[in-house]
């Protein structure tokens, strides 16, 4: 393998948990820990050199949830009209190997019961940690992206003890896959899957599909690849 020079790493933020109970469009906490270090200037549009992107699922993810993870990537494939994400199999990892630097160039989806708050770049003022985070390698050209789903059991299976909220794995993976495609930025468009805040299952603003702008961005950034 070629040991390249160290690639720049961007920790892309992830989705924030919204602790709203059911209904209403209550004020959401919009937390974003977009990147390590300064990234205040115009971020360059990031993209992969070529498609498709192969992703793997860590062996620590229960099989029961693989389907939902695939569904998150499939949403983008459908929007593209072709397979831009391809499943590359299971990545064998032990629980104690869940480290962002461990899976470089393999694009692994990992679940952990650890909190995202402890991770680099988290906003200290947030009550709840992020639901997930994508660790991207590469700046203008993305080489690798590992997706962490934090506090998995609490956020995605049993629900939060404070609100009872359960979040959709599919929609979180759709969001994270968007970071894989486009880098760490979030969208201000409320219909976009790339807004910084995610609403739980059953909330009127739960995102079930990609937004029109998401699809437009895909077709724009990857126009040549989608011909």
**How far apart are the C-alpha atoms of 143 and 150, rounded to whole Å?**
23
**How far apart are the C-alpha atoms of 47 and 179, rounded to whole Å?**
9
- Residue 47's CB is within 10 A of a number of other CB atoms, namely 17
Residue of closest CB approach to Zn ion: 14
Phi/psi class of residue 186: alpha, beta or left (left: φ > 0; alpha: ψ in -120 to 50)?
beta
Which residue lies nearer to Zn ion by CB, 125 or 161?
Answer: 125
Task: Compute the least distance from the CB of residue 198 to Zn ion, in Å.
Answer: 9
| Contacts for 81 with CB less than 8 Å, ≥ 6 apart | 226
Stretch that binds Zn ion, among 14-22, 56-64, 76-84, 145-153 (CB under 5 A): 14-22
Sign of CA dihedral 180, 184, 185, 191: positive
145 in contact with Zn ion (CB under 5 A): no
Task: Compute the least distance from the CB of residue 214 to Zn ion, in Å.
Answer: 12
**How far apart are the C-alpha atoms of 84 and 122, rounded to whole Å?**
30
Which residue lies nearer to Zn ion by CB, 22 or 117?
Answer: 117
Task: Compute the least distance from the CB of residue 101 to Zn ion, in Å.
Answer: 20
122 in contact with Zn ion (CB under 5 A): no
| Binding residues with Zn ion: total (CB under 5 A) | 2
14 in contact with Zn ion (CB under 5 A): yes
Which residue lies nearer to Zn ion by CB, 90 or 213?
Answer: 213
Interface residue list for Zn ion (CB under 5 A): 13-14
């Amino acid at each position: 393998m070629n040991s390249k020079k160290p690639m720049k790493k961007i920790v892309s933020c992830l989705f924030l948990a919204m602790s709203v109970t059911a209904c209403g469009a209550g004020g959401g906490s919009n937390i974003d820990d977009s990147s390590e270090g300064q990234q205040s200037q115009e971020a360059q549009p990031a993209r992969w050199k070529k498609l498709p992107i192969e992703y793997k699922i860590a062996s620590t993810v229960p099989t029961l949830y693989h389907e939902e993870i695939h569904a998150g990537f499939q949403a983008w494939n459908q929007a593209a009209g072709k397979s831009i994400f391809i499943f590359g199999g299971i990545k064998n990892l032990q629980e104690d190997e869940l480290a962002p630097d461990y899976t470089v160039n393999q694009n692994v989806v990992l679940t952990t019961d650890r909190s995202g708050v402890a991770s680099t770049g988290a906003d200290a003022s947030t009550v709840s940690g992020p639901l997930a985070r994508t660790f991207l390698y590469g700046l203008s050209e993305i080489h690798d992206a590992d997706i962490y789903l934090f506090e998995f059991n609490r956020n995605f299976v049993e629900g939060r003890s404070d609100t009872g909220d359960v979040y959709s794995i599919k929609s979180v993976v759709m969001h994270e896959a968007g970071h894989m495609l486009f880098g760490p930025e979030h969208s201000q468009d409320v219909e976009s899957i790339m807004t910084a805040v995610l609403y739980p299952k059953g909330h009127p603003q739960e995102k079930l599909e990609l937004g029109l702008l998401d699809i437009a961005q895909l077709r724009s950034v990857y126009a040549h690849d989608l011909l």
